[in-house]
Chains A and B, each alone.
Chain A
């Protein structure tokens, strides 16, 4: 990273440990699962979603909240198809995000000291330390 790149640190709660890094893909609206996550393609197919058909494979997927069916856990099935994100960060979740993360098995952090979807923008470079719940953001 270039010296002048602005770095921001977010502190949250570990859901799944591990270290990962990558480019951020940010959803400022909630993500929906079940039929509206295409696990083979690794993207949302919710018809009105800003990230419709935008692949999250290898990205640090940052989003506000889950919404809808228990099929949200389907995000975790992307792991079986190799279309999963590199890390999973969300502002607020419930057991649906937890089950998705347990299946995805990538560093996952939530309950941050700041709203991650306000601080992180798509294209920022992000390092995630899942074990300590620390997220370093390098602004693009």
Chain B
């Protein structure tokens, strides 16, 4: 991999030991990835605070604390994704009902290692969809280093900025990343035409459609036609599903996404390698795969994967208004939406119904620390499909359906959702 003289200087230790270690990581990573050079980030970083992709190149908590203490800053604007500190819930932890998460001493212990990151400039957004509350987006064409299934298609496809799945301390500190894959023009061109032959109506339809597309195209770049005018909630759900059922980092919606004013522009005038048609029956097949339960006695309901936005929190609160839940119900949002929901009293509405509004985590990230249950229900394909692996070897049944189906299950304790 080619390095500029300044980059070689960093590798030789001219900007200190930590910068040198960060550069050693970027070198090893870039070489293994087949990158030819580094690129300076002119966009943003989204990272999981506390996480190191490759522990051999760890920057230790003590080292980060020392950097923060001497006033060092991240080179580019950096947002916090969910913290990987085990058990960390940002808001509502006092009421979550599980241990050790609801213990104040435990919560303080989780917050402590995050402080130096914040001191260095990391915005404490603590969310898988921090881009919804970020207050600042990278512009089209800017180079970024982000993480998270639903966020990678957001940065590439929706914003037209450029990112691989590699946000981390090192990229934020040096403001550099190996220039390959999604950073290069040729890898962003559509290769597969995906035609949606059915009308996508509900948020769940977009979740199922995204999964079906992901499964069909893997790492390819699809152009999606016939998908209507997806809302923000629907795009976030679809993004989460394309990058779980498959590994879609980039797609085009001709006429909607910034790099595809037309279908022809999405393919840069080339012919698609393949054309795929998604029918209603494909959505039903994914729905059935997500229905991983036979016992209709639901014991726990989880909503908020990806973290619920304000429209979704409001919808959940309205469905719960004046009702009483028979099962524990978690509604998970991001910290800034939580604050706004509190001002609107939505946390109280949810609580009066017996549910809990939380922020900054999810059952998967909590390694299955959730209200004890053998049967759960959720409205997210991603959480549904991972949670059974996360609790392994424990057996867990998981129902999948619309938000309405899930809330009805929380109120009645019975699953009544079905394919409609």
Given contacts A30-B218, A68-B243, contact A46 B32 (CB under 8 A): no
**Across-interface contacts of B388 in A (CB, < 8 A):** 45, 47
Inter-subunit contact A70/B247 (CB<8 Å) = no
Can you list, as one digit per residue, whether each of B21-52 has a CB less than 8 Å from chain A (1) or not (0)?
Answer: 00000001100111000000000000010000
* 8 Å CB contact of B245 from A36, A38, A64, A67: A67
Inter-subunit contact B28/A94 (CB<8 Å) = no
- Does B386 interact with chain A (Cβ within 8 Å)? yes
- Does B1 interact with chain A (Cβ within 8 Å)? no
Query: How many residues in B have their beta carbons less than 8 Å from beta carbons of A?
Result: 36
Within the complex, the shortest CB–CB distance from A96 to chain B, in Å, comes to 6
Indicate the size class of the contact surface on chain A: 35 or more
- Does B137 interact with chain A (Cβ within 8 Å)? no
* 8 Å CB contact of A95 from B48, B166, B389: B166
Given contacts A70-B148, A102-B28, contact A94 B164 (CB under 8 A): yes
**Across-interface contacts of B392 in A (CB, < 8 A):** 35, 38, 45
- Does A65 interact with chain B (Cβ within 8 Å)? yes
Within the complex, the shortest CB–CB distance from B149 to chain A, in Å, comes to 6
- Does A120 interact with chain B (Cβ within 8 Å)? no
**Across-interface contacts of B28 in A (CB, < 8 A):** 102
- Does B343 interact with chain A (Cβ within 8 Å)? no
A-B contacts at CB below 8 angstroms, number? 100
CB contacts under 8 Å to A, within B275-323, are 289, 292
A32 and B286 CA atoms in complex are apart in Å by 17
Given contacts A47-B292, A64-B218, A66-B247, contact A94 B56 (CB under 8 A): no
CB contacts under 8 Å to B, within A87-103, are 92-96, 98-99, 101-103
- Does A62 interact with chain B (Cβ within 8 Å)? no
- Does B176 interact with chain A (Cβ within 8 Å)? no
- Does B105 interact with chain A (Cβ within 8 Å)? no
A32 and B392 CA atoms in complex are apart in Å by 15
A13 and B165 CA atoms in complex are apart in Å by 21
**Across-interface contacts of A47 in B (CB, < 8 A):** 292, 385, 388-389
- Does A112 interact with chain B (Cβ within 8 Å)? no
Given contacts A69-B244, A98-B29, contact A92 B219 (CB under 8 A): yes
Given contacts A30-B246, A35-B387, contact A99 B218 (CB under 8 A): no
6 closest A-B pairs by beta carbon, nearest first, are A35-B390, A36-B389, A35-B389, A45-B389, A45-B392, A35-B386
- Given contacts A35-B390, A65-B219, A68-B245, 19 further A-B pairs with CB under 8 A are A34-B364, A35-B386, A35-B387, A35-B389, A38-B392, A45-B389, A45-B392, A47-B388, A65-B247, A67-B246, A68-B243, A68-B386, A70-B165, A73-B54, A76-B54, A95-B29, A95-B33, A98-B29, A99-B53
8 contacts between A and B (CB under 8 A): A32-B244, A45-B389, A47-B385, A67-B218, A69-B386, A95-B164, A102-B28, A102-B29
